[in-house]
Each structure stands twice: as structure tokens, then as C-alpha cells.
Amino acid sequence: MNDTIPLEIGLPEIVAEVTRAFERYERALTGNDVAVLDELFWEDPRTVRYGAGENLYGYAAIAEFRRRRSPAGLERTLHNTVIITYDAT
């Protein structure tokens, strides 16, 4: 018996949707757009954010971190960004 779920990998419309969301997040992150960042995180105590120098647990902790964070020095250059999607059919 084969219990394997067939996957559609890299469907163009899904990759485009995820890419748009990623780019929106990146703009908000480097521009310190706290309103958009708050919108993009799931408002739930189970939400986790692993950062470069901190791990945050729960939406409230993440939102508080964003409000207190300095907007200086948030710029970065991304290299080799790859978006792969998997769609179980």
C-alpha cells in the first residue's frame, strides 16, 4: 500500500503569492513598519519568532519587541533567496 501524498512542487501561482508575501515582510522589516509586521504575525500565544539575537514566544512578546526596537541599522542585503512551495493534492 502506498501512503505517499502526491506533491505539486513550485506551482507558479503559489510561488508568486509566497514571493509577494516575503517581499512585503522584508520591506516592513527593513523599514521598521511596525503596523505591517504586527499584521503579518499570527496573533496567538503560540507564535514563535527566532531572531538573530533573541527568541520571542507569543504574539504579545513579538509585538512589544517591535515597538521597542530601534529603526536604525535594519538594512540588509539578501543573497541566494530561494522560495520553494509544496502543495499536497
**Is 77 inside any structural domain?**
yes
pLDDT of res. 2: 59
**Mean pLDDT per segment of 10 residues, for the chain of length 89 residues?**
79 95 96 95 96 94 94 94 88
User: Structurally, how many domains does the chain consist of?
Assistant: 1
The parent domain of residue 46 ranges over 7-83
Q: What CATH number has the domain bearing residue 39? A: 3.10.450.50
Residues in the chain: 89
Adjacent-strand bridge partners of 88: 7
Rounded to two decimals, the pTM is: 0.81
Q: CA of 75: how far to CAs of 9, 26, 32, 46, in Å?
A: 31, 10, 10, 28
Q: From 65, 64, 77, 62, select the one nearest 30 (Cα to Cα).
A: 77
Q: Tell me, what's the pLDDT at 63?
A: 95
